[in-house]
Chains A and B, each alone.
Chain A
Amino acid sequence: ETGVTQTPRHLVMGMTNKKSLKCEQHLGHNAMYWYKQSAKKPLELMFVYSLEERVENNSVPSRFSPECPNSSHLFLHLHTLQPEDSALYLCASSLDSRAGELFFGEGSRLTVL
């Protein structure tokens, strides 16, 4: 059973919709991450939060907006997405932002129509 939970597990949205992905970690970690995984491509790091402060924004389009209200929760707000944004979005946490072991959630599979 994973210590990182993501909701929803599946999401279908139109290009004009606004939706949010939620991640919660129960491991007492201080760093949280959003990754994007597309078919046959490496995981792409999107955002890193350490102690609720964003420490990395990996040139992600502004239609993706992260929010980290506390060290246990991480959101990814989505608006006016494109079909090419369809992918698996994985949340992860680690003890701190320098730790080598990431604990991933099961992911939110997003389809943009």
Chain B
Amino acid sequence: RKEVEQDPGPFNVPEGATVAFNCTYSNSASQSFFWYRQDCRKEPKLLMSVYSSGNEDGRFTAQLNRASQYISLLIRDSKLSDSATYLCVVNRGDGNKLVFGAGTILRVKS
């Protein structure tokens, strides 16, 4: 089993739609969690950290469920510019190593 698993997609959605991605992780000792965004042929960039209480940044909401070991990202009112690959990232806590998921592709179409 992969340490961090994501549905690869692609998720094809119209502009204005709400879309949600889930990510599961296998190491229950994992301590911190992040969503990164990677545009086509570009480097990954931090989108947001994921806190136990859940957090929101504009149209983006991230949530953590430690009991079920999954993280979610919700995007409301999708824009064309949201098209990218979304990477789930988990800090395992042993030497603070970040483990990346393979990413979920989102395509927003007009």
Most buried by A among B32, B43, B46, B95: B43
Which of B38-61 touch A at CB < 8 Å? Answer: 42-46, 49
Binary CB contact string for chain B from 87 to 110 against chain A (1 if under 8 A, 0 otherwise):
101010001111111110000000
List B residues 62-110 near A (Cβ within 8 Å).
Answer: 87, 89, 91, 95-103
Q: Is B8 an interface residue (CB 8 A)?
A: yes
For the complex formed, measure the closest distance between the CB of A49 and the CB atoms of chain B, giving whole angstroms.
13
A90 to B44, CA, bound (A): 9
Instruction: For the complex, give the distance between the alpha carbons of A106 and B103 in Å.
Output: 18
Q: Is the Cβ of A43 less than 8 Å from the Cβ of B34?
A: no
CA distance A55 to B95 in the complex (A): 9
Which of A41, A45, A97, A104 is B43 in contact with, Cβ under 8 Å?
A: A104
Give the residues in chain B near A65, CB-CB below 8 Å: none
List residues of chain B with CB within 8 A of the CB of A107. Answer: 43
Number of interface residues of A (CB under 8 A): 19
Contacts of B102 in A (CB 8 A): 40-42
- The answer to whether B97 touches A56 (Cβ under 8 A) is yes
The CA of A43 and the CA of B103, in the complex, are separated in Å by 9
The interface residues of chain B, by DSSP majority, are classed as strand
Indicate if the CB atoms of A42 and B42 lie closer than 8 Å: no
Minimum CB–CB distance from B92 to chain A (whole Å) comes to 11
Tell whether, in the assembled complex, residue A104 and residue B96 are in contact, meaning their CB atoms are under 8 Å apart. no
User: A104 with B45: in contact, given A40-B8, A42-B4, A55-B95 (CB under 8 Å)?
Assistant: yes
Contact B98–A100 (Cβ < 8 Å) = yes
The reply to whether A97 and B96 form a contact with Cβ atoms under 8 Å apart is: yes
Residues of A within 8 Å of B8, CB to CB, are 40
- Minimum C-beta distance from A37 to chain B (A): 9
CA distance A107 to B43 in the complex (A): 7
How far is the CB of B25 from the nearest CB of chain A, in Å?
12
Residues of chain A whose beta carbon lies under 8 Å from any beta carbon of chain B: 2, 40-43, 45, 48, 55-56, 90, 97-98, 100-102, 104-107
